[in-house]
Amino acid sequence: NLGTQVGANQVRNITIAAWKPAQGLLTLSADKQVDAVIEAILSADVSAETRQAMTSIASPTRSFQHIGDLVAMAIGSSDFQRR
Q: What is the per-residue pLDDT across 10-41, written as a single tens digit (0 to 9) for each?
A: 999 889 999 999 989 999 999 999 999 999 99
pTM of the predicted protein model: 0.88
28-77 confidence digits (pLDDT tens): 999 999 999 999 999 998 999 999 999 999 889 889 999 999 999 999 99
Quick one: which of 4, 28, 29, 27 has its CA closest to 16? Answer: 4
Q: How far apart (Å, rounded) are the C-alpha atoms in residues 24 and 29?
A: 11
- Give every CB contact of residue 74 below 8 A, 6+ residues apart in sequence: 3, 37, 38, 41, 42, 46, 50, 54, 80
Decide if 81 contacts 47 (C-beta within 8 A). no
